[in-house]
Chains A and B, each alone.
Chain A
Amino acid sequence: EAGVTQSPTHLIKTRGQQATLRCSPISGHTSVYWYQQALGLGLQFLLWYDEGEERNRGNFPPRFSGRQFPNYSSELNVNALELEDSALYLCASSQLAGAGEQYFGPGTRLTVT
């Protein structure tokens, strides 16, 4: 069974640009979560999607947004990039809506210059 996949692995953008990150959950999982991990720090919850709807978001500005597609894959968009957006972005999925064990993808490392 394939795990959670994320693309791209690395992404380099310039301040002010937009970044799009993609995530495919484990087959049969309907919930997708996005987390941000700044260098050397713990994870911060960004967004939770289930059945195509945004269910919850963390304490991040509106320029962080996303969506979930009918096949349960998801994308995270970050507009008007700032230097402090440089981080590892991790996607996780779970079989139960908002509950149960979360499984993580390998992450996308975003660098803003």
Chain B
Amino acid sequence: GIQVEQSPPDLILQEGANSTLRCNFSDSVNNLQWFHQNPWGQLINLFYIPSGTKQNGRLSATTVATERYSLLYISSSQTTDSGVYFCAPGGGSNYQLIWGAGTKLIIKP
């Protein structure tokens, strides 16, 4: 099955800083989502991005499917960006998303 590796595992930044989170996956995918999990456990959809580039405000994401990686960019970080960011690709006949271990982001005021 698909293996997913996210880096870095932990990231501590000052408010206003920019960051890049990386997701490597081991096989071809037909689905890839980025999520933000808040301290209460709610998973918030950030991007559905099996390929290409998308932007939403201060966040953007790029997936290069042929090279099997995806990047999430966060610019001008705010304390509310703190939480765990998950990359979840999916592919094959099983369809279910395969989850990375996440990147824990802490934004200090």
**Judging by beta carbons under 8 Å apart, are B86 and A42 in contact?**
yes
Binds A, one of B15-23, B64-72, B93-101: B93-101
**Judging by beta carbons under 8 Å apart, are B41 and A45 in contact?**
no
B28 close to chain A: CB less than 8 A: no
**Judging by beta carbons under 8 Å apart, are A56 and B45 in contact?**
no
Q: How far is the CB of B56 from chain A (nearest CB, A)?
A: 14
Interchain pairs with CB closer than 8 A, number: 53
Chain A interface bracket (under 10, 10 to 19, 20 to 34, 35 or more)? 20 to 34
B42 CB contacts on chain A under 8 angstroms: 104, 106-107
Q: When the two chains form the complex, which single residue of B40, B86, B95, B101 contacts A56, counting CB atoms closer than 8 Å?
A: B95
**Judging by beta carbons under 8 Å apart, are B86 and A45 in contact?**
no
B86 CB contacts on chain A under 8 angstroms: 42-43
**Judging by beta carbons under 8 Å apart, are B31 and A43 in contact?**
no
**Judging by beta carbons under 8 Å apart, are A101 and B48 in contact?**
yes
Pick the most buried of B45, B48, B96: most chain A CB atoms within 10 A of its CB: B96
Q: A41-B101, A90-B41, A106-B40 are in contact. List 15 more A-B contacts (CB 8 A).
A: A42-B102, A43-B86, A45-B96, A45-B99, A56-B94, A56-B95, A88-B41, A98-B94, A99-B30, A99-B95, A100-B48, A102-B33, A102-B97, A104-B42, A107-B42
